[in-house]
Amino acid sequence: MTDQTRFELPQDRIPRAWYNLNADMPVPMVPPLHPQTQEPVTPDFLGVLSPMALLGQDVSPDAEIEIPEPVRDIYKLWRPTPLFRAVRLERALDTPAHIYYKYEGVSPVGSHKPNTAVAQAFYLKDEGGKCFTTETGAGQWGSALAMACNFFDLGCEVYMVRVSYDQKPMRRHVMESFGATVFPSPSTNTNAGRSLLEQDPHHPGSLGTAISEGIEAAVMSNGEKKYSLGSFLPHVLLHQTVIGLEALEQMDMAGEYPDVVIGCAGGGSNFGGIAFPFLRENLRNGRQTRIIAAEPAACPTLTRGEVKWDFADVIGMAPIVRMHTLGHTFIPPGIHAGGLRYHGMAPQVSALVESGHIEAVAIDQVDTFDGGVQFARSEGILPAPESNHAVTAAINEALACKESGDEKVILFNLSGHGNFDMAAYGKHAAGELERYEYPAGDIAEAMTRLPDVTFAG
């Protein structure tokens, strides 16, 4: 252990390959199913939506997948990202725990999302594509993809969850500044959006609704556009492993190794990014690190959802996936952590929680902002509302160490800054943030609408 509190890797230590969990996955995975036939999806079906290179990464058994040099060249704008020891937070908590955080907010758009956005844009350009459609919740993913498409001279159309579109206009302006076109979702552009607005003209939207619209826009473009997803899929979590790979080296620089690794979880991208390389060490080398996914109590996919076959979107255009789900028609309350308002969870993460390799906790919105403000007052960084879930989970672990006297090492991923989320922080300061009870009735109703799947694997 060292007295140093900031750990920086030189630029030549940007990882040269992503870590592919497929090589070490401790439980069997089942393929996604076609939404109409309920047979395993084919490359022909998925190729309408996604660059073929990304589909290949989803099923690759290779432990390492090389990062193309044009991608690494853009990564140099912000990678490697710093690792900090939160000494001032430790003192404020009066805990014997050592708290570290990997800070992804130093990227140009302020979050971890460009790690996959740049890679996806590279592969689309490499295959002759012209434009991506996508969804975004809080706007972090849309901003990242807009930036990446700009770098590779690609078009970008973003369907932004309506409640976030209204709450966070600055994120929309960032996307538009990079040349993207942004629509509130549900919109009148697609059949999916129009049908939802007919049911409720004030529909708040969700990631599931925006995914439906982004997919429909790509499918109806006659090959002019492809669809990009910012979380959930194996290739997205793969690209994010640069976070954990760097953190492994930086923890070695600090002379410590984490007893606990924490990430916030909505679809699974930043969580997989920090967690999977440390899970590899558990699986290969017998490490005993606890790995915790922190999610919102208002959308408790892992802690209160069930592992079922369900659509990845609201309308049923996306493949059917076996995952933790709250039901694809469930629309979460309009919490300010818009990037975590998704009914499902990445199949890899779902399988690992089900098998006990990963833990999950759910935290109320008000408590997460309490934790975020406490972190900011100690460390000087205002976290994104999504990241506040990881912050608060880490604080809770550190306080448990205070009670037990255990000197544990806690590492969490600070996946982005909250500089565009001041309206939410303003509501917190004014005491106007709501606590949401578990929406049991809404979820129970949504769970009655799951597809009737007989596929046995």
Locate the DSSP E strands across 113-244: 131-136, 155-161, 181-185, 226-228
Three-class DSSP category at 95: coil
CB atoms within 10 A of CB 346: 26
pTM over 0.75: yes
Cα 294 from Cα 291, distance rounded (Å)? 10
* Residue among 385, 373, 368, 374 at smallest CA distance from 435: 368
| β-bridge mates for residue 156, sequence order | 132
Average pLDDT per run of 10 along the chain, which is 457 residues long? 90 98 96 94 90 96 98 98 98 98 98 98 97 92 97 97 89 96 95 93 88 91 92 97 98 98 96 98 98 95 96 88 95 76 93 98 97 98 96 98 98 96 92 89 93 84
Is CATH 3.40.630.30 the classification given to domain 18-66+113-234?
no
Q: Could you tell me the residue ranges of all domains in the chain?
A: 6-14+78-110+241-446, 18-66+113-234
Helix then strand then coil, % of the chain, to nearest 5? 45, 20, 40
Radius of gyration in angstroms for the set of CA atoms belonging to the chain, rounded to a whole number: 20
pLDDT at 338: 64
Q: What pLDDT score was predicted for residue 125?
A: 98
1 by Cβ neighbours in 10 Å (0-12 / 13-18 / 19+) ranks as exposed
111 phi and psi angles, rounded to 5 deg: -155, 180
Spelled out in words, what is the top-level CATH class assigned to the domain 6-14+78-110+241-446? alpha beta
Confirm whether 6-14+78-110+241-446 and 18-66+113-234 share one CATH topology: yes
pLDDT score of 457: 67
